């Protein structure tokens, strides 16, 4: 029987409602109740329906009472949705079952056996802020520099140990960390002792203490093993070591464990997820039944073909191929591949495409821009605002609302507008300069009394003996810096001034020294801020623009374009998906490759797969030839993932003068580099051939001549100084270049 025929096979007429409409593979997953089962549920294959139907089937057939079922999810939202669907299908409420997140179930067990776990039954579960506050106290007592080893960094180290199921006594020399001057393990011990003293647990403890409880009290473990006749686990590919060990222990008696997941969508390795958990399922549970859900109900055949070809390059996977029934015999649109000059050109292209679809009455809510890194959102946000297209940033603040951007802007405001009290107050002790609340209170008091701006009041204070010597020195140094930067603002270009201010103030150094997980992303955002400034003639013009942007950043309702990272997009779907920034070092991300090697590359490829499979009808991938990073133009290479897409499923759309298919009659004849597509087993190949520049002819340029530069593109010679040319480039602005690097052009 063919794939299609199998999926369409008729099931018995008198089926219960929860089984009706299931395809063959889905029905197998629901009815395979005995023994270990792994359901490999590809993107858009009806995973949620299978989970729900399986739970209903267990209850409807009286194979188990609600109290004998343990169903575990990763979010409360997923748990509540599953509960409501089951009750709807059964047409009655379900009481007494164990349905919830790993943490909620772990807490429920701990409440029952608190004394055995070293706690009292009324123990407190600390939130993230309380955890950090407690750790700060311990670090201070140990005389560990909070600037060098922030509490949040230490908390991340401790949580990684807990995610791996390691209590302090289980952390070996090989597992130890160099954090906190080599005292990380000692800090971990003290932290756990303080938690016990406070009769408290953190989120990591909810499973870690469960593991310790089961190990120390076999009778308790045996009770839960007997109790849970059936186990059901959602998103198994995202489990960490602690979750994995916990599940394995509970499943040992009946072995009726059903795990649903997709190894091709394991993208959270950076937060402790172990893709190996799902890859080892057959080894962990001998005789396990593997059911592959491969029929996709979301995307077109072309999108699925491209996604399947891409993910097939991963070695560490169980393997499956998504397919779907063509709608009306149509395969759908090819994957659009757009080559752009730079990030601004890329944003303009995406904006124009969105506008064109909007004119065709396509809802904005069906469109999404999915980026690899948070800093990429800035150009798309500004372009959509310019066009008047409503949007929302999902999973994070808008670019100019981010903490590090607000801090940087406060520095700029303090330089150009000394009367801006709010800006000055924000940066006066950032990074920390020993200017505390007492000093600020004195400054505020003087400012109110004399009706002075805060900065002016500070100048009077440092000229007096009102302040302690340390605070006086720090405040005086900051005011001197602000004066120097204001003087530099008279001559230095404002993007250059911004770099100077952020560097000399120590602000970028603060984030460079930070061990926080989000520090690299914050630095990327700061780098993105510099080219954003360059688009305006003055710093004041830029700051005014930002104020207007913030004023316009209002909720436009539900019909908006979604902008988000690829990580945030998992589980969502859209009619049209734009995937910008497919360039080497950005996607796959250089940091992921440096830190993870081959595993990092495979996770990046899974991320690309997730991006492609979010789309129902249309995908547009784009990349740039140049990207401006930290005021420097970087030549970019197309991502290797582009080369892994099947050529037959891709339609190249090059901007004028860029990468055009061979044989295009409209391709410019004087282009320095001509690209062509070639189909083959290896997928899409982009080839290039450089043209030699005639150096003798290059030496004869005159002002007003049109030229072409390999990096900066087309431009007009503004001035000639020997072999050096001042050129006003169409896209890159004014540059000084050597004449041998350009050639005559007609454009």
665's CB contacts (< 8 A; 6+ apart) are: none
Spatial neighbors of 214 by CB under 8 A, at least 6 apart, are 220, 221, 224, 249
Give ∠ CA 731-737-740 in degrees, rounded to 5: 115
DSSP class per residue in 371-401: ESSGGGHHHHHHHHHHHT--EEETTS--GGG
CA atoms of 539 and 532, how far apart (whole Å): 11
Answer yes or no: are the C-beta atoms of 561 and 362 closer than 8 Å: no
333 in Cβ contact with 302 (< 8 Å): yes
Q: How far apart are CA 189 and CA 196, in angstroms?
A: 11
Cα–Cα nearest to 20, from 56, 44, 45: 56
DSSP 169: G
Whether residue 431 has a cis bond before it, omega within 30° of 0: yes
HEC string of 567-609 equals HHHCCCCEEEEEECCCECEECCEHHHHHHHHHHHHHHHHHHHH
DSSP state of 323: B
Helix axes 494-504, 403-416, angle to 10 degrees: 110
**Could you give the CA distance from residue 218 to residue 226 in angstroms, rounded to a whole number?**
12
Centre a 10 Å sphere on the Cβ of residue 448 and count the other Cβ atoms it contains: 11
What Cα–Cα distance (Å) separates residue 247 from each residue in 22, 231, 232, 259? 28, 8, 10, 10
Supply the DSSP symbol for 295: B
In angstroms, rounded to a whole number, what is the distance separating the alpha carbons of residues 387 and 448? 44
CB 409 within 8 A of CB 543: yes
Three-class SS of residue 316?
A: coil
Q: What are phi and psi of 565, to 5 degrees?
A: -80, 160
Q: Three-class SS of residue 560? A: coil
Half-sphere exposure of 586 (CA within 13 A, CB side): 30
- The vertex-463 CA angle with 457 and 468, nearest 5°, equals 90
SS3 call for 650: strand
Of 230, 226, 223, 240, whose CA–CA distance to 116 is shortest? 223
Task: Give the tokens for residue 298.
Answer: 């979301």
Q: Is the dihedral of CA 460, 463, 468, 471 positive or negative?
A: positive
User: In Å, what is the CA distance from 699 to each residue of 521, 733, 734?
Assistant: 44, 22, 19
Nearest to 313 by CA among 568, 604, 585, 577: 604
Q: What are phi and psi of 231, to 5 degrees?
A: -120, 140
Catalytic residues: 47-48, 234-235, 265, 614
Tokens of 25: 């593979």
- For residue 737, say if its preceding peptide bond is cis, omega within 30 degrees of 0: no
User: How many other β-carbons are positioned within 10 Å of the β-carbon of residue 255?
Assistant: 15
| DSSP reduced 3-state for 563 | strand
Report d(CA 212, CA 224) in Å as an integer.
14
């Amino acid at each position: 029987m063919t794939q299609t025929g199998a999926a369409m096979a008729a099931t018995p007429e008198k089926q219960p409602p929860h089984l009706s409409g299931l395809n063959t593979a889905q029905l197998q997953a629901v009815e395979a109740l005995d023994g270990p089962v792994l359901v490999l549920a590809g993107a858009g294959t009806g995973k949620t329906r299978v989970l729900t139907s399986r739970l209903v089937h267990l209850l409807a057939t009286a194979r188990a009472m609600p109290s004998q079922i343990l169903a575990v999810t990763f979010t409360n939202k997923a748990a509540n949705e599953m509960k409501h669907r089951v009750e709807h299908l059964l047409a009655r409420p379900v009481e007494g079952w164990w349905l919830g997140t790993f943490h909620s179930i772990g807490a429920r067990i701990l409440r029952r056996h608190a004394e055995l776990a070293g706690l009292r039954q009324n123990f407190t579960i600390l939130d993230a802020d309380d955890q950090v506050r407690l750790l700060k106290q311990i670090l201070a007592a140990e005389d560990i520099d909070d600037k060098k080893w922030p509490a949040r960094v230490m908390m991340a180290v401790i949580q990684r140990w807990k995610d791996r199921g390691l209590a302090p006594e289980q952390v070996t020399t090989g597992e130890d960390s160099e954090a906190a001057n080599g005292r990380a393990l000692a800090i971990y011990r003290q932290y756990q002792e303080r938690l016990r003293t406070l009769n408290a647990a953190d989120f990591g403890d909810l499973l870690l203490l469960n593991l310790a409880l089961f190990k120390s009290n076999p009778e308790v473990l045996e009770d839960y093993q007997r109790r849970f006749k059936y186990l059901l686990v959602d998103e198994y590919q995202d489990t960490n070591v602690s979750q994995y060990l916990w599940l394995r222990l509970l499943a040992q008696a009946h072995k009726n464990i059903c795990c649903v997941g997709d190894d091709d969508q394991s993208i959270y390795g950076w937060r402790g997820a172990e893709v190996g958990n799902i890859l080892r399922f057959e080894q962990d549970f001998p005789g396990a039944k593997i059911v592959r859900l491969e029929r996709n109900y979301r995307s077109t055949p072309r999108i699925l073909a491209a996604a399947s070809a891409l993910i097939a390059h991963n070695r560490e996977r169980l393997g499956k191929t998504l397919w779907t029934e063509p709608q009306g015999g149509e395969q759908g649109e090819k994957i659009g591949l757009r080559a752009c000059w730079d990030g601004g050109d890329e944003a303009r292209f995406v904006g124009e495409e969105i506008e064109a679809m909007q004119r065709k009455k396509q809802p904005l809510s069906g469109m999404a821009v999915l980026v690899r890194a948070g800093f990429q959102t800035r150009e798309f946000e500004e372009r959509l605002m310019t066009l008047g297209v409503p949007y929302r940033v999902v999973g994070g603040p808008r670019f100019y609302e981010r903490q590090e951007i607000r801090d940087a802007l406060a520095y700029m405001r303090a330089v150009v507008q000394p009367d801006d009290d709010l800006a000055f107050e924000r940066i006066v002790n950032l990074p920390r300069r020993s200017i505390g609340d007492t000093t600020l209170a004195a400054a505020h008091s003087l400012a109110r009394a004399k009706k002075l701006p805060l900065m002016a009041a500070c100048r009077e204070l440092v000229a007096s003996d009102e302040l302690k010597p340390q605070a006086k020195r720090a405040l005086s140094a900051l005011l001197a810096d602000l004066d120097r930067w204001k003087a530099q603002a008279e001559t230095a270009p404002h993007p250059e001034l911004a770099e100077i201010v952020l560097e000399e103030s120590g602000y970028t150094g603060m984030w460079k020294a930070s061990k926080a997980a989000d520090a690299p992303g914050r630095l990327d955002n700061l780098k993105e801020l510099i080219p954003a400034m360059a688009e305006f003639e003055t710093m004041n013009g830029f700051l005014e623009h930002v104020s207007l942007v913030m004023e316009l950043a209002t909720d436009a309702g539900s019909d908006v374009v979604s902008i988000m990272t690829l990580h945030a997009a998992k589980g969502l779907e859209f009619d049209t998906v734009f995937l910008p920034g497919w360039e080497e070092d950005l996607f796959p991300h250089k940091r992921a490759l440096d830190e993870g090697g081959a595993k990092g590359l495979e996770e990046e490829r899974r991320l690309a797969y997730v991006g492609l499979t979010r789309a129902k009808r249309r995908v547009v991938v784009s990349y740039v030839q140049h990207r401006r990073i930290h005021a420097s133009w970087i030549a970019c290479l197309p991502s290797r993932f582009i080369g892994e897409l099947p050529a037959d499923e891709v339609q190249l759309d090059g901007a004028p003068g860029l990468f055009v298919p061979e044989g295009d009659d409209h391709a410019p004849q004087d282009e320095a580099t001509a690209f062509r597509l070639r189909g083959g087993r290896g997928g899409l190949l982009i080839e290039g051939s450089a043209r030699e520049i005639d150096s003798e002819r290059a030496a004869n340029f005159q002002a007003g001549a049109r030229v072409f530069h390999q990096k900066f593109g087309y431009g007009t010679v503004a001035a000639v100084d020997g072999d050096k040319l001042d050129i006003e480039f169409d896209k890159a602005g004014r540059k000084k270049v050597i004449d041998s690097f350009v050639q005559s052009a007609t454009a």
